[in-house]
Amino acid sequence: MKKFLAVMLAVAMVFCMAACGDKQEANDGSANITDGAGMVFKVGATGPLTGGAAIYGQAVKAGAEIAVEEVNAMGGFQFDFNMQDDAHDAEKAVNAYNDLKDWGMQFMMGTTTSAPGEAVSAEAYADRMFFLTPSASSTDVIKGKDNVFQMCFTDPNQGTGSAQYMYEHNMGTNIGIIYKSDDNYSMGVYNTFKAKAAELKLNVVAEAAFTDATSTDFTVQVKQMQDAGVDLVFLPMYYTPASLIFAQAAATGYTPTWFGIDGMDGILTLEGFDTALAEGVILLTPYSADADSSENKNFVEKYKAKTGELPNQFAADAYDCIYALWKAVDQSGVTADMSSEEICEALVKTFTSMSFNGLTGSNMTWATDGTVSKSPNAMVIKNGAYVGM
């Protein structure tokens, strides 16, 4: 019944948005002509701005908007950024994508999350729409699509990276994994981690899963880890369930080493979270809000002023996406009067040959399969702050 209503609402919303889109297009068109100076590129994006995953979409939106303001302030060509809500739902994301196309989108800053990303990137591939996602990390998003790129690590990359790190640093005699079995992100990392762990002969002794519907009570999973004598628990998941796992483990006096991935970033800014629970947590992440560069400080300051919160990795990835798109547009010499297909071909060529410095890594390059190469940093949480290892 809820689903039916959601679909009805979505249909109603699409009609509303379609109506708005038309109006906006007319406005922008006339503005372009009277303005004359500078080209305006229409950059579309979708992400969950409402619903359970809204935190990620909101972060991407804020991060991208800051970058758009900055690049537009530099003069030169301008970006007109339009982000639509997909509520972390593939069907709604495709509707939003079609809507953005009607609006006149020339290239796309991806979907925020993986499940909608898989659906929309297929459309973008068929339409020859250039597609760069900040954070949809599943390999299915980019697989077989030459015009689809990622700013974030792919999930396999994180899984193998984590196993490799544990192996090299000789961590954990008995390793356990708690993962979310109905989540592409978690499953992607889990599968590759397991494969790599087997290859490196890491001793994985316990595995426990949970789903979206059972993501509050972890007492059983924690107990299973404890009973199996696990001293290192790998947590391929976002920080919200992780915070519950830490609390419930602490309540039973279980204190293994926790090992997280980029989704763990943000746990320290969780309102009301007792950071002592996360003491000693290790995470592999490309971004940390307290990195000491002037670019990052500028970004963190603006982000705080805009949202009142510290940026997480999603926001930083989105910020980098806008700059990478800006650089690619600049280098390829495309113009705003070109069709999205022509822009796509030019950008694909530039993207696979350029190197880019951003908040989430330096000298990033993209392979033709759409994956980014940048190195994750291992961080450990000490006294309520991330510290490089």
Read off the tokens for 302: 């603006």
337 binds another protein (CB under 8 A): no
Does residue 255 belong to the site contacting another protein (CB under 8 A)?
no
**Partners of 132 in the β-ladder:** 149
Token pair, residue 158, equals: 């994180």
Q: What's the CA gap between 226 and 5, in Å, rounded?
A: 43
Q: What's the closest the beta carbon of residue 79 comes to another protein, in angstroms? A: 26
Stretch in the footprint of another protein (CB under 8 A) among 162-170, 211-219, 280-288, 344-352: 211-219
In angstroms, the CA 81 to CA 19 distance is: 18
Q: Stretches 64-72, 119-127, 236-244, 375-383: which one binds another protein (CB under 8 A)?
A: 236-244
| Count, residues near another protein per rule CB under 8 A | 40
Which one among 35, 102, 217, 295 touches another protein, defined by CB under 8 A?
Answer: 217
55 touches another protein by CB under 8 A: yes
DSSP letter, residue 293: -
270 binds another protein (CB under 8 A): yes
Least separation in angstroms between CB 371 and another protein: 29
Spatial strand order of the sheet with 257-260 comes to 204-210, 175-180, 232-235, 257-260, 282-285, 377-382, 385-388
Taking the complex as a whole, the smallest distance from the CB of residue 148 to another protein amounts, in Å, to 27
HSE at residue 84, side-chain half, CA atoms within 13 A, is: 30
Q: Is 126 exposed, middle or buried (0-12, 13-18, 19+ CB in 10 A)?
A: exposed
Cβ 189 vs Cβ 261: under 8 Å: yes
Return the number of the residue (199 or 227) whose C-beta is nearest another protein: 227
The CB-of-89 to another protein minimum distance in angstroms stands at 14
Q: Is 184 in the site for another protein (CB under 8 A)?
A: no
d(CA 168, CA 318): 31
Which of 205/250 has CB closer to another protein?
250
CA-closest candidate to residue 106, choices 339, 276, 319, 321 = 339
Which residues of this protein are in contact with another protein, per CB under 8 A? 1-2, 5, 9, 50-52, 54-55, 58, 181, 208-214, 216-217, 219-221, 223-224, 227, 240, 243-244, 247, 250-253, 270-274, 309
